[in-house]
Amino acid sequence: MTANAPFKPPVLKQNDIDRIAARLDRPVVLVGLMGAGKSTVGRRLASMLGRDFVDADDAIEEAAQRSVAEIFDEFGEGYFRDGERRVIARLIEEEAGVIATGGGAFVDDETRSLILTRAIAVWIDCDIDTLVERTARRNTRPLLRGGDPKQILTVLFKQREPFYSQAQLRVRSEDSPHADTARAIIEAIDQWL
């Protein structure tokens, strides 16, 4: 190595990951704003750790037999939040391996306190422009329909940051491939355990 070579952190090998997974005795719960990559990173993380993956929004849709947008339209946000609280409690009770939550779930006091005591919360933090770009790919999010997505996401970030920052772990996602974010989460878990 030359004196000026950039520092590169050692890449985790699968047997390192297996050792970390063996010490992990609770669900990993991903929190953060819409578009942060919670579901994609979560699926990747679960497969690296050899655990199952559940998307809480999918579980809510399955229980309600309706899409998230339909639940908001027919019954309102309060009804959705009640369902979200119940579903996340059930997933933690069932000791799901990796759980991706909807962006508002961790703001709920009861859900947040349950996650913080029975699981490890990981905040996937991401800059607003990336969130805007990623959320523009699908028009399924009721909270982004009523105005300018950048403005809405900026306001939500300000409101929710005090809650997200209570997560035990935080990783930034930005433009990096989701597999790198998953690996960064495993490294953070390793240090936290």
Q: Is 142 in the site for ligand S3P (CB under 6 A)?
A: yes
- Burial group, residue 147, by CB count within 10 angstroms (0-12, 13-18, 19+): exposed
Full DSSP string of 133-154: HHHTT----GGGTTS-HHHHHH
Alpha helices (H) along the chain: 14-23, 38-49, 56-64, 68-75, 77-93, 109-118, 128-135, 149-164, 178-192
Q: Is 126 in the site for ligand S3P (CB under 6 A)?
A: no
Q: Is 143 in the site for ligand S3P (CB under 6 A)?
A: yes
Taking residues 171 to 190 in sequence order and writing x for each that binds ligand S3P by CB under 6 A, - otherwise, the string is --------------------
Shortest CB 77 distance to ligand S3P, Å:
8
Taking residues 51 to 70 in sequence order and writing x for each that binds ligand S3P by CB under 6 A, - otherwise, the string is ------x----------x--
Element of type H or E holding 98:
strand 98-100
Size of site (CB under 6 A) for ligand S3P: 10
Rounded-to-integer distance, Cα 20 and Cα 70, Å: 40
Q: Provide CB contacts within 8 A for 48, sequence distance 6+.
A: 14, 17, 182, 183, 186
Give the nearest residue (CB) to ligand S3P. Answer: 102
Q: Is 149 in the site for ligand S3P (CB under 6 A)?
A: no
Going by their DSSP bridges, the two strands 120-125 and 98-100 should be labelled as: unpaired
Binding range to ligand S3P, per CB under 6 A, among 97-105, 110-118, 145-153, 180-188? 97-105
Q: Is 103 in the site for ligand S3P (CB under 6 A)?
A: yes
Shortest CB 116 distance to ligand S3P, Å:
19
Q: Is 40 in the site for ligand S3P (CB under 6 A)?
A: no
Where do contacts with ligand S3P occur on this chain (CB under 6 A)?
A: 34, 38, 57, 68, 102-104, 141-143
